[in-house]
């Protein structure tokens, strides 16, 4: 069946918005690195806009190599420190305070609409079609619902404040510039997670553990699984990406099959151990780097430094909980 809003159309919309940011960056002479910053975002947006054309024109193998090369260039631009914030037209503190007083709590309405509409669309529009046409992409229903919610929030903000959608794009550039390369880190790490799974990294982990650890040493296996989940999460930035690798490499062969652990509490506590790694890594940009950037902290790693003692304490607790709870 046909679909009114497909995932490809969402990608095109993201690409168009990113290209608007590129144009604004190129015009911003107050940005000392505007050319390389614009190139960074152009390459990122081009993948969304022209990815299908590359696959159709070059075939999947060559197109994937081209996109992989784009990812390498993007990484080099960020790694060489070639991104920079620009200049932005902002109101004074007094004007912002007056605006906040005028709108009161209504100012939170657009932000609250995003999760609300996303949930409603995901629940109510599943398998819903009109005249044989699905309203939202059923294979990517949550993402399509999020797109509808985001556009609705922009329109609500437009109506509430009397601004324009273009002003929302300008503010997006300011926030994106403040966050920098960390804004696209989740997509990069998701891709890296796919690479690890395809490379059967879990099997390699299992072989390494077999070489150095006695399979009968239950406590050491629990420590390796929990600490491994935390460390791999620190690398991947996401416990969900670390979970299949560490569970396939350690939990399943050694703890569940070998030590007869109860799978439910074992993998649950394993995920909690992974979240401890989330607290200690800049790779978890959404939790650690982005807040520091938005709060304009002088030390961008301040959030991580404060969280480390808590993370280590929780990790130790998870090891003990797993050892005493997960085994029959």
Same domain? For 34 and 68 the reply is: yes
Among the listed residues 315, 126, 317, 129, the one whose alpha carbon sits nearest the alpha carbon of residue 233: 315
Same domain? For 10 and 43 the reply is: yes
Looking at 89, 105, 128, which one is the last position of a domain?
Answer: 89
Does residue 313 form part of some domain?
Answer: yes
- Give the domain range for residue 113: 91-163
Distance, CA of 122 to CA of 154 (rounded, Å): 19
Looking at 89, 120, 151, which one is the last position of a domain?
Answer: 89
- How many domains are contained in the chain? 3
Does residue 152 form part of some domain?
Answer: yes
Distance, CA of 188 to CA of 71 (rounded, Å): 8
Same domain? For 80 and 54 the reply is: yes
Residue by residue, pLDDT tens for the chain (328 residues) are 688 888 888 999 999 999 999 999 998 888 888 899 999 999 999 989 988 888 888 888 888 888 889 989 998 998 888 888 888 777 777 777 887 788 888 888 988 999 999 999 999 988 888 888 888 888 889 989 999 999 999 888 888 888 777 888 888 888 888 777 777 877 777 677 667 767 777 777 777 887 788 888 999 999 999 999 999 899 887 787 788 888 888 888 889 998 899 999 999 999 999 999 999 988 877 778 777 777 777 788 888 899 999 999 999 999 999 999 988 6
Same domain? For 222 and 289 the reply is: yes
Does residue 172 form part of some domain?
Answer: no
What do you get for the CA distance between the two ends of the chain, in Å? 49
Looking at 89, 110, 126, which one is the last position of a domain?
Answer: 89
Does residue 182 form part of some domain?
Answer: no
Same domain? For 25 and 66 the reply is: yes
Same domain? For 63 and 132 the reply is: no
Same domain? For 308 and 243 the reply is: yes
Same domain? For 218 and 291 the reply is: yes
Same domain? For 62 and 123 the reply is: no
**Max intra-chain CA distance, the chain:** 68
Model pTM score: 0.73
Distance, CA of 238 to CA of 12 (rounded, Å): 26
Does residue 276 form part of some domain?
Answer: yes
């Amino acid at each position: 069946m046909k679909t009114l809003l497909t995932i490809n159309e969402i990608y095109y919309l993201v690409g168009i918005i990113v290209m608007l940011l590129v144009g604004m960056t190129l015009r911003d002479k107050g940005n000392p690195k505007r050319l390389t910053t614009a190139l960074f975002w152009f390459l990122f947006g081009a993948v969304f806009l022209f990815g299908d054309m590359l696959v159709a024109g070059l075939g999947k193998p060559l197109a994937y190599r081209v996109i992989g090369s784009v990812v390498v260039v993007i990484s080099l631009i960020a790694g060489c420190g070639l991104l920079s914030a620009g200049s932005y037209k902002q109101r004074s503190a007094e004007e912002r305070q007056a605006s906040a007083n005028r709108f009161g709590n209504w100012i939170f309405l657009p932000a609250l609409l995003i999760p609300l509409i996303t949930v409603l669309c995901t629940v109510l529009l599943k398998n819903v079609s009109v005249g044989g046409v699905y309203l939202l992409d059923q294979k990517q229903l949550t993402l399509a619902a999020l797109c509808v919610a985001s556009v609705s929030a922009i329109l609500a903000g437009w109506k509430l404040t009397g601004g324009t959608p273009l002003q929302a794009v300008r503010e997006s550039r300011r926030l994106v510039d403040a966050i920098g390369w960390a804004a696209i880190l989740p997509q990069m790490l998701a891709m890296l997670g796919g690479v690890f799974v395809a490379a059967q990294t879990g099997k390699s982990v299992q072989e390494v553990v077999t070489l150095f650890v006695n399979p009968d040493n239950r406590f050491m296996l629990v420590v390796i699984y929990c600490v491994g989940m935390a460390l791999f999460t620190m690398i991947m930035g996401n416990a969900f990406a670390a979970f299949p690798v560490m569970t396939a490499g350690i939990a399943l062969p050694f703890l569940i099959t070998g030590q007869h652990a109860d799978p439910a509490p074992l993998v649950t506590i394993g995920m909690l151990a992974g979240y401890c790694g989330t607290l200690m890594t800049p790779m978890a940009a959404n939790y650690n780097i982005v807040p520091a950037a938005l709060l304009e902290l002088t030390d961008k790693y301040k959030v991580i430094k404060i969280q480390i003692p808590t993370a280590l304490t929780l990790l130790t607790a998870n090891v003990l909980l797993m050892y005493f709870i997960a085994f029959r």
